[in-house]
Structure 1
Amino acid sequence: MRTRHAISTDRAPAALGPYSQAIVAGGFVFCSGMAGIDPSTGTIPPGIEAQTEQALRNLGAVLAEAGASLADLVKTTIFYADVDDFDRLNTVYARHMPQPPPARSAPANVRLPHGLLVSIEAVAVLPGTEGGHRE
C-alpha cells in the first residue's frame, strides 16, 4: 500500500530540482517552498508584495491539486531575502490567511536563487481528516 504520493500542477512553477511540488501523506499535504514565479511565463514579478501574492497563488494551486486550500493550512514557513520587507510581506500574507491563521516561522535575510525575494513552504491538513485519520 502506497503511503504517500506526489502532487504536481502546471498552475504553479515546476520544481527547480529533484523534489515534488507537494507530497500527500498521512492526511496532510507537505508543500515545497513556493516562490513568486509566474507559472505561465516563468517570470519573477518585481517587489516583495507582487512576489508574495504570486507565491500564495502558487501555493493555493498546489493545495487545490491535492484537494485542499489555504483554509486548511496548519503551518507555514516564509523564507525572505530582506528583513526590511517584513511589514509589506506580512500585509499581503495576512490578507490570504484563514482565521485562526496557521502556525508560522519567518526566517529573514535568506539568500534565495534567481533573485527571488520570498519562498513559502506549508503543511495543510486534508479536508475530512484529523491528525491523519479519516473522521
Structure 2
Amino acid sequence: MTREAVNSPQVPPALGPYSQAIVAGGFVFCSGTAGIDPATGSAPEGVQAQTEQALVNLQAVLVAAGSSISEVVKTTIFYANVDDFATINEVYARHMPTPPPARSAPANVRLPHGLLISIDAIAVLPSR
C-alpha cells in the first residue's frame, strides 16, 4: 500500500512533524485541524469562530486530497471546555453530511497555543 502526504496551501502549516493528511488504502486520514485563520496565522476569538474555521480548514485539506467533507466517515473533536459542547455541535451539524459521520469528542483537552478546538477526520477517497 502506498502512502501519499497531503498539504494544502490554503491551510496554515502543521504545528509539528506531521502531514496535514495522508492518503492510503482508499481513505484520507486528516490530522487534527485547528481553527487557525490562514490569512492571519492566528485563531479567532471564541469556540464558535474556531470551530467554524477548523471545519473550513478541514474541508480545504480534504479537497486537496481529492475528497470532501461529504465523504467523512469518522471524526474526533478535541476541545478545551466541556461547557462548549452545545456550541460546537451547532456549528458541526451545519457542515457535516446526513447521516453524520461516526464521532468521538473528548473534552477538557489542553491544546497547544491556547487553541479551543481541533478536529481530525477519516474520509473516503472517491474513485479517481
Q: List aligned pairs for 1:1-135, cutoff 5 A.
A: 3-128=2-127
- Distance in 2, matches of 1:40 and 1:67, equals 23
Cross-structure match for 1:132: none
The alignment's TM-score, normalised by the length of structure 2, stands at: 0.97
The amino acid of 1:12's aligned partner reads V
**Ranges in structure 1 where 5+ consecutive residues have no aligned partner:** 130-135
Post-superposition Cα deviations, 1:50-72, rounded to whole Å, max 9, x if no partner, equal: 00000000000000000111000
Secondary structure in 2 aligned to 1:78? strand
- Distance in 2, matches of 1:76 and 1:37, equals 18
- Distance in 2, matches of 1:53 and 1:12, equals 13
- Distance in 1, matches of 2:16 and 2:116, equals 19
Secondary structure in 1 aligned to 2:86? helix
Post-superposition Cα deviations, 1:88-120, rounded to whole Å, max 9, x if no partner, equal: 011000000000100000000000011100000
- Distance in 1, matches of 2:7 and 2:116, equals 23
The amino acid of 1:26's aligned partner reads G
> How many matched pairs?
128
Percent identity over the alignment?
72
**Ranges in structure 2 where 5+ consecutive residues have no aligned partner:** none
The alignment's TM-score, normalised by the length of structure 1, stands at: 0.92
C-alpha displacement at 1:128, in angstroms?
Answer: 2.4
User: Aligned-pair RMSD on alpha carbons?
Assistant: 1.0
- Distance in 1, matches of 2:125 and 2:4, equals 13
Secondary structure in 2 aligned to 1:32? strand
Structure with greater Cα Rg? 1
Post-superposition Cα deviations, 1:66-91, rounded to whole Å, max 9, x if no partner, equal: 01110000000000000000000110
Post-superposition Cα deviations, 1:1-55, rounded to whole Å, max 9, x if no partner, equal: x611100111111011110000000000000000000112101100010000000
Secondary structure in 1 aligned to 2:15? coil
Secondary structure in 1 aligned to 2:108? coil
